[in-house]
Every structure is written in structure tokens, then in C-alpha cells.
Chain A
Amino acid sequence: MKRSYSSQLMAAILVNSVYEMKNYPINLVNTVLSPLSFLIVITFVSKGTLIGQAIEGGLIMSMFQSGTALQGDISHLKNDFKLQDMLVSSPASPSVYVLGMAISELIYVAPALLVLVVLGQIYIHPSALQALEMAAALLLMFVTSITIGFMFATLSSDIVQSFAWSRLLTTIFTTVTPVYYPLTYIPLPFRYLAYLSPTTYAAEIMQNVVGYLQESASVVITDWAVLGGVTAVLLVVVSRKARWKET
């Protein structure tokens, strides 16, 4: 029989976003509110001066959260429902499964992204080129977080541990690091630690694109190179180390 990859892709999207949002809408409320809550706090604390950075931070957090959510979701489906075992012993394609799950996470955060994009148009009003640069940085951020998420998911065997990892990764990479605020707010000895996180580079790129930071061309090129490099390395590591089935 001829098998349809688009059906396989759609199955992941239906299970992990459409049916879940339809039958448990509370999850959707949580996903929308999470990036917006930080935005509101930062805006109030800074008396509105950091609203642009906070919107960009919300966008980065939404994209990064997709990956950490993927980690929790794949792990949940694998360990609690044994879905992955059922799919290993079927003609389902592992790469299409992961792609479908990744897209489903994007659909999940789509309402939050929509709100943030509208706010961005109002408070940042980027040009088309600036918007394109920001979208490229966000895409790299998304791929990075998805690869991290999938790697952790395939290695985890316990859902409680998996959700704990999910929350920890989100906290480390999106709230501790200078995603919602400028890097210069961090005291110098600790500023270098922030550069261990790929989200710092994404934030620096996005803040520089619209003029919140005035970085030199070499710094911007370095940011792109590091973000692209980290994404590429993670993709290679995941393709080699992630486990679809046991050996």
C-alpha cells in the first residue's frame, strides 16, 4: 500500500495540538499566558521603557518553550501511553513523527505568537527586513530548542523527571538569561555566563536589529555564527544520539 507522509505529519499535529487544545482548552490558556506574564511584569517594573525588549523576549520564550514542551509531550506519550512503542512497530517514519510533533508545538504557541506579533507591530514597528531577520533568529531558536527537547525526551524514561527537566530548561534558558532585558543589566563577572545560552545570542540579534543594542558588525556576525553553529551541532548530535528504539 502507498503510505502518505502528509497523513503521518497530520496525525502528530492532531494528537499533540488539535485534539488536546479542543478537549483540554486550559492547556492553551497556559501556553498563551506564560510568555505574556513576564512581558507584563517587565513592562510594569521598567515603567514601560523595556516593553520592546520584553516583547522580543516573549517571542524567544515562546519559541524556546516549544522545544521544552516537545520534550515533555514526547516523553509523556512514550512513557505513559507507550505510543512510541506502538509506532516503532509500524510503518510510521521517525523523522516525520518528530517533524509533526515539532509543528504541533508551533501550532500550540501560535496564539501567543499572534498576540506578541501584534504587540510588536504596535510598540516596535519593525521594517519588513528587520522582521525577516527576527524571524530567522526565532527559527534557529525553535530548531535549537526542538533538538534539545527531542534529545531529552528520547533519553528520559520517567514522566515526572521529564516535566521537571522541561521546567528547568525553560527557566535557565529564558528567564535567568537576558532574554527579556538587556545583557548590560547583568553584572560583568556573570555576563559571560549568559553567553553559554543560545537564547542570549538570539536576544542580542533581535535587540540589535531594531536598535535596542548598538553592536558592531563583528559582534552581530559572531552572534549569527554561534546561533547557527549551535543549531547545526545539536542537529548532528540528535541525529546520532537520540533513540527511536532500544538497542
Chain B
Amino acid sequence: MDQLVTEKLTKRYGGKTLALQEVSLSAPSSGIFALIGRNGAGKTTLVRILATELAPTSGSASINGIDVVKEDKKLRERIAIVPQEARTISWMTPKQSALAYLMWRGFGHSEAKKRAEESLGRLKLDKYADTLNRSLSGGTKRKVLAAMVLASEADIVFLDEPTTGLDPISRRDFWDILRELAKDRFIFLTTHYLEEAEQLADTLGILGEGRLVAIGSVPSIRGRIRYQYSIKLPPKVPVPGVSKGEVITGRNGEVQILTNEDEAFAISRSLSVAGTRFSISPVSLDDIFFQLVGEPTQREQEAATPGEE
């Protein structure tokens, strides 16, 4: 029963903008589920529906058998969210923030205080516990928001782009926190950072223009795509012929060849014989994302062109 399930989940804003189009998925509601997609792909809409903040236009969704629309009150007993662009309240301290959040969830003052202190300690925020939030760095403020939900009893936590705007070191610190949170909770995370999803996700969902493009573990999604290998060549190097694959030239002149295993090794051999510098690796999540989300858009553009002529 520990499943996140959506069936033909659709959301149309104001009867016009279609944010989600019949999204159907089924995934374990344990560990970390990372949802990636471009801006406007529908990530936040999906999170807000699952977190009972927003009603879907049609379709259904449930977490651990609890319907997000029909049993929203029951689900709210178990969930917590840090929305996109959430900020710590400037005139409060981290300790006051966590305490108030827990009291809002119905904890008595003494229990809330104990949990707040424990949570701040767990995330190594105890030294800032009595500092005003406005004086904290961006990364620390984000950690405070995480400490608030970590302190609660919620076993399903939604984090909408929690690391956007953080520097690389703070982001990696935050990943540790997410791994800590995921030990005894289900984390539903949205992110722009493909590396983040690759590092953290037990299950990965890819949204493109309101539709679910792929779902599964990172290795399983990698196995499903057309090209599994990436060869990179420096600028101004003769590019070998590619019969099954794609050649992408970057702005700096660097060339990337996406291809299958047989061709990748054949090309590697020929490049080695020619003494050309190159690197070969399994495709990254960036490449997967490009193949899954980028291609349909290109195809749509190509399909649209003849009609225009």
C-alpha cells in the first residue's frame, strides 16, 4: 500500500492554461522521489495537488491509499511541505520558527520545544538557534525550513526546489540533510538540478510540458533511452562519421556524440588509432533529459514547419 499513485491527473488554470495533462504514475512512497522538468513543466502544480493545496481539474491521486482530494484532512495529518520560494520569517529565530510550526501542527509547547531543539541540533543549527533569521545566510535559512518539517511527525515531506539559489557547497550540505530526512520519511522533491536528482533520487520522474515523460530509477531510465554512451571531443577535431546516434556541437566548439554501445566502442577505437583526445562515459542525466524532453519539442517544431509553409 506504500505507493504514490496518480491516474490521469489533469490541472487546467482558469479554464485555459493546461498545467498537467493526464499524469498517471505509480511509485513507491519511500526514500526520495525526484521530479525534474523545465520551468513551467508542471512540477509545482503536481506538488501542490499532492500536498492538498490545489484541487485537480480531473483525475485522482493518492498516497499510501489516502486520496488527496476526498481524504485531504486525513492526509494532512501525515504531510509537510516547504513550498517553492518559502522563506523563514525575518523577525523570528530558528528556534522560534520550529517551535511555532510545531505548535501550529498541534503539539503542546513543551513537546514542541523539545522537538525543535532536537531537530536544530540534528541539522547542526543549534549555534544559530537564537539568531534572527534575517541575519542568517541563504543556505542556513533553507536548512531552518528543513529543520521545521524534520521536527514534525510528518512522514511524507514535499520540497519544491529546495536548493534553488544555493551555492554548490550549501547545496551539497543540503543533500546530506535530505538523505537524513529520507531515512524515516518519504521525500517528494522537485529540482532543476539534474545532478541533484541523480545523486538523491530512488525514483525519478521527468515532466515535459505537463506530461510525464519517464519514471523509474535513474539506471532504469538510462536503459530505456536510445543512446547510452556519450563521447566528447575537444573543439576543432575531425568528427568521425556516426551511423546510429546524434552529434551535438556546443557553443565553445566542443562536440558530443550520443550513441549506442557498439558504435561508441567502434568510434573510440578509431579515435584512439588516430591519436585524438576524447572522453567516453555512460550518458548523464543531462543527456537523458535532453533526449526525453528536448526531442519531442524539436519533433513538434519540425512537424509544425511543413504546415506553415
- Which B residues lie within 8 Å of A14 (CB)? 96, 99-100, 103
- Which A residues lie within 8 Å of B154 (CB)? 90
For B73, B77, B103, the residue with the greatest tally of chain A CB atoms inside 10 Å of its CB is B103
A23 CA to B82 CA, complexed, in Å:
24
Instruction: Say how far B281's CB is from chain A's closest CB, in angstroms.
Output: 39
Q: Is B196's CB within 8 Å of the partner chain A?
A: no
- The reply to whether B53 and A19 form a contact with Cβ atoms under 8 Å apart is no
Interface string of A87-99 (1 = CB under 8 A from B): 1111110000100
A3 CA to B154 CA, complexed, in Å:
13
- The reply to whether A83 and B153 form a contact with Cβ atoms under 8 Å apart is no
Q: Is B175's CB within 8 Å of the partner chain A?
A: no
- The reply to whether A3 and B105 form a contact with Cβ atoms under 8 Å apart is yes
Out of A23, A24, A92, A247, which one reaches B104, CB within 8 Å?
A92
A51 CA to B103 CA, complexed, in Å:
44
Measured as residues with beta carbon below 8 angstroms from the partner, the interface class of chain B is 35 or more
- Which A residues lie within 8 Å of B76 (CB)? 88-91
- The reply to whether A7 and B91 form a contact with Cβ atoms under 8 Å apart is no
Instruction: Say how far B165's CB is from chain A's closest CB, in angstroms.
Output: 15
Q: Is A129's CB within 8 Å of the partner chain B?
A: no
- The stretch that binds A, out of B107-115, B226-234, B271-279, is B107-115
- Asked whether A81 and B86 contact (CB < 8 A) given A8-B104, A89-B52, A89-B53, the answer is yes
- Which A residues lie within 8 Å of B108 (CB)? 4, 7
Instruction: Say how far B211's CB is from chain A's closest CB, in angstroms.
Output: 22
- Which B residues between 65 and 120 are near A, CB-CB below 8 angstroms? 73, 76-77, 79-89, 91-93, 96, 99-101, 103-109, 112
A245 CA to B132 CA, complexed, in Å:
29
A14 CA to B106 CA, complexed, in Å:
14
Instruction: Say how far A148's CB is from chain B's closest CB, in angstroms.
Output: 24
Interface string of A68-93 (1 = CB under 8 A from B): 00000000010011110111111110
Instruction: Say how far B251's CB is from chain A's closest CB, in angstroms.
Output: 37
A80 CA to B85 CA, complexed, in Å:
8
- Which B residues between 102 and 154 are near A, CB-CB below 8 angstroms? 103-109, 112, 132, 152-154
Q: B86: nearest residue on chain A (CB-CB)?
A: A82
Interface string of A210-235 (1 = CB under 8 A from B): 00000000000000000000000000
Per DSSP, chain B at the interface is: loop
Instruction: Say how far A9's CB is from chain B's closest CB, in angstroms.
Output: 9
Out of A12, A15, A246, which one reaches B55, CB within 8 Å?
A246
Q: Is A192's CB within 8 Å of the partner chain B?
A: no
Q: B53: nearest residue on chain A (CB-CB)?
A: A88
- Which A residues lie within 8 Å of B92 (CB)? 15, 19, 23
Q: Is B174's CB within 8 Å of the partner chain A?
A: no
- The reply to whether A86 and B86 form a contact with Cβ atoms under 8 Å apart is yes
- Which A residues between 175 and 211 are near B, CB-CB below 8 angstroms? none
- Which B residues lie within 8 Å of A87 (CB)? 104
- The reply to whether B103 and A10 form a contact with Cβ atoms under 8 Å apart is yes
Q: Is B33's CB within 8 Å of the partner chain A?
A: no
- Which B residues lie within 8 Å of A86 (CB)? 80-83, 86, 101
Out of A3, A15, A89, A91, which one reaches B158, CB within 8 Å?
A89
Q: A2: nearest residue on chain B (CB-CB)?
A: B106
Q: A14: nearest residue on chain B (CB-CB)?
A: B100
Q: A247: nearest residue on chain B (CB-CB)?
A: B55
Q: Is B54's CB within 8 Å of the partner chain A?
A: yes
- The reply to whether B89 and A83 form a contact with Cβ atoms under 8 Å apart is yes
- Which B residues between 14 and 51 are near A, CB-CB below 8 angstroms? 48, 51
Q: Is A122's CB within 8 Å of the partner chain B?
A: no
- Which A residues lie within 8 Å of B79 (CB)? 89-90
- The reply to whether B91 and A246 form a contact with Cβ atoms under 8 Å apart is no
Instruction: Say how far A3's CB is from chain B's closest CB, in angstroms.
Output: 3
For the complex with contacts A19-B91, A81-B88, A87-B104, 10 further pairs of A-B residues with Cβ separation under 8 Å are: A1-B106, A2-B106, A4-B107, A11-B103, A19-B100, A81-B86, A88-B51, A88-B52, A89-B158, A245-B54
| A–B complex contacts, Cβ < 8 Å, 28 sampled | A4-B107, A5-B106, A7-B108, A8-B106, A14-B103, A15-B89, A15-B96, A19-B91, A19-B92, A19-B96, A19-B100, A20-B91, A23-B92, A23-B132, A81-B88, A85-B48, A85-B83, A86-B101, A88-B51, A88-B53, A88-B76, A89-B52, A89-B80, A90-B105, A90-B154, A91-B77, A246-B53, A247-B54
Interface, chain A (partner B; CB < 8 A): 1-5, 7-8, 10-12, 14-15, 19-20, 23-24, 77, 80-83, 85-92, 97, 245-247
